[in-house]
Amino acid sequence: MSLFRSTTTVRSQFRLLEYVDGALTRVLGPGRHRPRRRAEYELVLVADRIETVAPQEVPTSDGVSVRVSAAVRWGVDDPRAFEEATVDASAVVYLAVQVALRDALVGTPAEDAVHLARTGLAEQLTEAARAAGAEVGIGVRSVVIKDVLLPGELRAAYADLVAARTRGLAQLEAARAETAALRSLANGAKLLDEHPALARLRLVQALPPGSTVELG
């Protein structure tokens, strides 16, 4: 880009690369600058941005394909490398995340792959993305897992399994409550057997108001 104005202003989220005869001469930061003759300028956005990695189909050891998508937050740390190292620097990071995702999950059973993706995978992906980004001037701030999807039939099977577990827990709690109630009744009956006076008192308490009791 050639600038013909007497001055140009660079905002905080940009850097301006100055080239003279095709060679980089300066990286201009925020502020007002006076263009040089014969110089060409390239404006580079350095502010952080978020890029979504499309869902990746990862085969597991039990023959199931898990679909995992991620999001990468990154910014430009080295404007010159970002502009000169490759035609599309962000694609380098994008590819690194895809490869790291596949390497981390391939050969793992589907259930373990889902657990790993939701708990411990983001850190591995961030490390891989940072290593790749450093080569092209990109600083990767973080990588997060957005979605982990199983095939529809497996999702239905897991839903049935969760429902069955829930029903089983409910039945177990009901059985425990019934056992506790029976134990309480048994203890009460034993207490009444051992204390006849208490049994008569309990009988009197159970009679309707106005009833009379003949004690033998």
- Phi, psi angle pair for 33, to nearest 5°: -135, 150
Q: Where are the domains of the chain?
A: 8-45, 49-150, 157-206
The mean per-residue pLDDT over the stretch 28-57 comes to: 93
The mean per-residue pLDDT over the stretch 90-119 comes to: 88
**Is residue 153's pLDDT more than 70?**
no
**Is residue 146's pLDDT more than 70?**
yes
Among residues 123, 156, 166, 121, which one has the least CA distance to residue 142?
A: 123
pTM for the whole structure: 0.68
The mean per-residue pLDDT over the stretch 88-98 comes to: 96
Q: Sign of torsion, CA 43 46 47 48?
A: positive
Written as six digits, the tokens of 192 are 């009444």
Average pLDDT taken over every residue of the chain: 83
In angstroms, rounded to a whole number, what is the distance separating the alpha carbons of residues 70 and 100?
11
Q: Which is more confidently placed, 168 or 132?
A: 132
- What would the 3-class secondary structure string for the chain be? CCCCCCCEEECCCEEEEEEECCEEEEEECCEEECCCCCEEEEEEECCCEEEEEEEEEEECCCCCEEEEEEEEEEEECCHHHHHHCCCCHHHHHHHHHHHHHHHHHCCCCHHHHHHHHHHCHHHHHHHHHHHHHHCCCEEEEEEEEEEEECCHHHHHHHHHHHHHHHHHHHHHHHHHHHHHHHHHHHHHHHHHHHCHHHHHHHHHHHCCCCCCCCCC
Among residues 117, 136, 122, which one has the least CA distance to residue 73?
A: 122
In angstroms, rounded to a whole number, what is the distance separating the alpha carbons of residues 214 and 216?
6
CATH architecture of 49-150: 2-Layer Sandwich (3.30)
pLDDT value at residue 159: 46
Written as six digits, the tokens of 91 are 């694609």
Tell me the pLDDT band of 124, cut-offs 50, 70 and 90.
Answer: very high
pLDDT value at residue 91: 96
pLDDT tens column, 172-204: 777 777 777 777 767 766 766 776 765 566 655
pLDDT value at residue 3: 46
How far is residue 1 CA from its own chain's centroid?
A: 41
* Most confident range, picked from 63-67, 135-139, 161-165: 135-139
